[in-house]
Structures are given as C-alpha cells and as structure tokens.
A and B are shown apart, each in its own frame.
Chain A
Amino acid sequence: MIPRSTYQRMLGWIGRITLICIVAFLILPAAVVTIAAFNDKPILSFPPQTWSWRWFARALAYDDFRHGFFNGLIVTAWSSTIALFVGAMFAFAIDRYRFPFKSLIEGILVSPLVIPHFTVGLGFLILAAQVGLSRGFAVVVACHVVLVLPFVLRSIYVSLKNLDQSYELAAASLGATPFRVLTTITVPLLLPGLVSGWLFAAILSFNEFTASLFVTSQRTQTLPVAMYNYVREFADPSMAALSVMYIAGTAALIAFATSFLGLGKVLNIEQTH
C-alpha cells in the first residue's frame, strides 16, 4: 500500500492539475478571441502573424455597432429597472404573504428559466403583430423584462429571506409607519440584493441575443443583434475586438459595483447573535 502522505500528496497534485485544466478550459474561448482581436489581417485566424489595434478602431467607428450599443443601453436601463420593481414587489408578496395559488404564481414567475428565449421572442413578435404594435423599443423592453425577471426575483427573494425581521419590528415599535419602515430600514438593508439583482439583470439584458433577434428591427437592434448581422457579411477581427471591449466593460462594471458601491462591505452585515 502507498504510504498515506505520498497518497495524499498525489491527490493534492491531481486536484491542482484538474483545477488548472478547468480554469484554462473556462478562459480558453475568451483568450483565443482576445488574441485574435489583435490580428492585423482582415481574417479571423489564430494565432495572428502580425499585430494591430485597427479592428478596435473599426469596431468603435462602425455605425451599426454604435447604434446597437446605445439601443442596448436604452433597453437594458428600462428592462432591468422595471424588472427590479416588479421583481421586488413579487419577492415581497411571496416572502411576506400567504395567498391562493402562491406556488403556481411562483412557478410562472421563474418559468422563463425553462422556456427557451426564442419562444419568448417569437411570442412577443406574434403578439406585437397581432395588436398592431410596431417593433419599437416597448416590445423589446417588455420581452427583456420577462427574460430577466426570474433572476431579479430570486436575488431579492434571497436577500429578503436573510433579512432579520426584528429590524422592521423594532422600527415599527419606535413609531415608524409601514412606509417609513420600508424606506428607512427594509430598502437600505436590502440594497446589496437590489443592486446586485439590478446589475445581474442589466448584464443579462445587454447580452441577450436570441429573443432580441425576433423582436428588434433595424432601428432598435441591440449590440448582439448588430454583431450577428455583421458576421453574416464580414469575417474580420473587429468582432473579436468588440468582444474584448465587451468583456473589459462588463468586468469594469462589476469591479466598480463591488468596490465603490461597497457591495462586499454592505453584504457583510454583522449578525449580533
């Protein structure tokens, strides 16, 4: 039999190697795309022979991408904010009240997790055509609200579950009306959950492609849709350059949220028992 220490050391090494492999596997696509973005030639190839920043300039200057980016911001801002309010209200209702068909409603609210995005997109497309709505921002926003709502709902629901109700009772005992309790105690204490829920929704919405493909038009197309339309015609590294900017932007946003909004610090509320 192998001595215990050698056996353990072997296990440790196997574990480390496995971990490295998994991490490498996870970042592999992003790494390949990042390297490909700096190719000087107008082809998507790996690894590049000559290097350049020019596809970044091209991506930034391309009109469809610029419009797509700003359209995406509009859609994301509206849809994640609406989802935040709706999700917060549902989360409250589910956490605090008992009502008939509660589990059914809960199920419907999280159902977009099992319904494919293209189904949701197609549904909204048919619906919009039926009621004579043009494919404007309203339809895109509505579609995105449905898609991101489950995530927001879950995030807020978990925060609510972890919120010690005695804070709210203490505030009420000190003479605070329910509205005052909500604004001075509940919402501030839930803020980390609300911010992270909103952020998560925003990232999902901004990246959403499948459903957006159905409900956007040339005028309202979001960045992922614009990118899809681009690769149908061109195959140059500007796509890769855009991806790199995408990743950098999202990472910066999350880093900002974590450090400047103090997500970590606020989340670390000390329990007194």
Chain B
Amino acid sequence: MQAIPTIEQNEAAVRFDAVTKRFDDVVALNAVSLDVQTGEFLTLLGPSGCGKTTLLKLAAGFLGPDAGAISINGRRVNELPTYQRGIGMMFQNYALFPHMSVADNVAYGLKTRRVPKPERQQRVAEVLALVKLTGMERRMPRQLSGGQQQRVALARALVINPTVLLLDEPFSALDKSLRTSMQVELREIQRKLGLTTIFVTHDQSEALSLSDRVAVMSEGRIRQLGSPVDVYRAPTDQFVATFVGDNNKLRGRLLSVGDSDAVIELGSAQIKVPSERLAKLEKSAPVDLFVRPEQFCVVSANEPSAMTGHVVAQIYQGGHVDLQIECPGASRDRLLVRSAGDQAVVRWPMGATVGVSIQPGGCAAFPAE
C-alpha cells in the first residue's frame, strides 16, 4: 500500500464530518459525523430508511453530500469520483458481472489498474485461494451457489487492496447456516488483512456478533456509537434499547437519583440503574425501565419477587427456553423471560403462577415517553 504523506497518526480511515443528504424534501442524513478507525470493523445498524445505506453510498461516491465533508485517509473525497477512491464494495445481490467468468470478475479491478497479466493472474489465484474458490476460475456466475457467488464478490473487492471495504447487507440473501459460516469467514479474512470495513445491516444480531463498533442509526442520525457490549448493555435512548436485542419495557417510578445511580421502584422491587439519563427528573416521576429477557429470574410464586404473573407461552429453543409471562400488575405487554438450559420447560409449565424478579445491574431506564 502506498503511504499518503499527509496521513497523521490515529487519523481516521474514513471520516464523515457533519454530512447531510436530502432526497427532494426527505432528509436522509442529518449532519452525521463519524470516524471509522483504520483496521476497524464498523457496522451501521438500523431499520430500513434510517440512512445507513445512504451513508455507505456517500463513502463509495455513488452519491454526493449536500453538506459536510467526507474524507478517506485524511484526503477530502467529496468531489472524487467512485473510480478514483480505491474502495472495495460488496453488494446485496453481489452484482457479479453475468457475462464474465469468475476469474474475469475478480481480475476486473486489476485490469482497470493496468496490472500486468502475469501479476494479475497470480493475484487472482491468491485471492481465490483466500476465499476457497480455487478451481472455479472458469465458471460463470450463474453456475455458482449463493455462497460461492458471495465469495467471488468478496474476492473481487479484496484483490485490489482497497483502502476501505464497504459491505451492503451482503448476507441477507443467504440461508441461516451458510450465513453464520460466511460471517465468521469474512471476519477472519478482514482481521488477517487489517482491512477497514464499513458494514451495513438491519440485522441486530449480525451487528453484535461481527463488529468492533456499532453505529445504531434512525431517521438520518446516529443514535449511539459504541462497542456491541455498550450498545447492548448501555443503550443511550429508548430507540436503541428497543432495536438492539430483545427487551422488555416496564413502567416504573423514580425513587431517588444519586451521582451515578438512580433507584427505580417497580412493584415491590427496587432496581438500581445508571442515573445519567434521569438526572433532570423529579422524584417519583414515571420512568421506562428496559430489562433484557435474560435478566429476569423466575421464582416460585410464594418467594419474594418484583411481580407475579402466569406463564402463557413456552418457546423451547434448545439451549434456552423463552417464557412469555403475563403480569397484569406490571406491564400491559407480556414479559419475555429467557431461562438458560431446558429445565424451565418442566419447572414452569403453561398456566403456572410464578414470581418474576430482576437481577441487579444491566438495566436501562429513561424518562417515560
């Protein structure tokens, strides 16, 4: 890779600086700023229409921003056309050139760079070995399975040693078992090459399992940027808490607010949560408490617990059991309770009256909406 003289230490590989993009009257991105670190795997996560794909297209140069600046390796690229950006891109439908063989597809980016033929052939062979497609050189894209097509698309993007790899929901067309193995493989290759990667998905479990950092997006803004653990355990707002992972939303009451912790009253239980987002609230104000399914603990009805309810559904998942529990006193919605192992199937049968308590730590609370 050629060194760019202006690059500073810790300079972001890709930087979005207050980038705004409108489509007619719709604001797709609203002054989004984001630094993608060199070698990092960063995921843009959000529902459809949140602006994640627009952000990726701006990085690729398929679109231009209405305001703000985009830079790659410290160089402003707002006006730089796609073909000069040196990016690698993988599309949702792979976009393999249907009239070219696997080898020609992969060699395409080398031909545009005028790499001499012997070197070209060698690099194509190397990258096909990397994605385990040696021997498939002469196949046409339509003769390949979905997984193989994806490997070709990856090889084609990797062979040019891109400055940044852009992935637009590349796994959405694969079935579940293949998806997981491709994800692991992609991540291994990405780590091995130390490749800066921006990954777009609406699948929160994919985002959590693959990323170094996740940017959760909604309505043209980044709602939270952090490690998967941060985003899951300490959501910064109700949207993130609801969108990432399963969550139960319960209405509680603020008991007291301290410097770092606040105490929330829920039924007969008192739950400690970080006070960060509750500081402005009055005492005894209503709050929305978010409790992950695995933070609930099901106990016998006669033991002390936060609330009581009865089991209305059992969803056996092999490694764990999801129980749906109706607690009319605590929540209008059914509680989703996750119990590790499979003992819950026998212990808490359908219709059983149970107590539900909340394990301390890891809950998030926000002013009631």
Contacts and interface: CB of A to CB of B under 8 A. Distances in A.
B88 interface: yes
Nearest to B150: A272
B339 interface: no
A233 interface: no
Contacts of B88: 173
Nearest to B144: A272
A173 B149 CA distance: 18
A266 B109 CA distance: 24
B93 A171 contact: no
A174 B92 contact: no
Interface in B121-164: 141-142, 146, 149, 156-157, 160
Contacts of A169: 60, 62, 82, 89, 91, 95
Q: How large is the interface on B (under 10, 10 to 19, 20 to 34, 35 or more residues)?
A: 20 to 34
Given A169-B82, A272-B94, A174 B160 contact: yes
Contacts of A259: none
A167 interface: yes
A42 to B, nearest CB: 55
Interface in A230-273: 266, 269-273
Among B86, B91, B95, max chain A CB count under 10 A is at B95
Interface of A is mostly: helix
Contact of A166 (B61, B93, B108, B160): B93
B195 interface: no
Interface stretch (A6-14, A105-113, A175-183, A198-206): A175-183
B99 interface: yes
Nearest to A170: B95
A22 interface: no
Interface in A169-218: 169-178, 180, 184-185, 188-189
Nearest to B94: A272
A272 B96 contact: yes
Interface residues of A, number: 24
Contacts of B146: 272
B192 interface: no
A270 B93 contact: no
Interface string B159-187: 01000001000000100000000000000
Interface string B82-108: 111111110111111111000000001
A63 interface: no
B83 A273 contact: no
Given A188-B99, A272-B141, A272-B149, A175 B93 contact: no
A174 B98 contact: no
A42 B97 CA distance: 59
Contacts of A167: 95, 97-98
Contacts of B142: 269-270, 272
B85 to A, nearest CB: 8
Contacts of B61: 172
B113 A175 contact: yes
B156 A270 contact: no
Given A188-B99, A189-B98, A270-B98, A175 B91 contact: no
Nearest to A269: B98
Interface of B: 60-62, 81-89, 91-99, 108-109, 112-113, 141-142, 146, 149, 156-157, 160, 166, 173
Interface of A: 164, 166-167, 169-178, 180, 184-185, 188-189, 266, 269-273
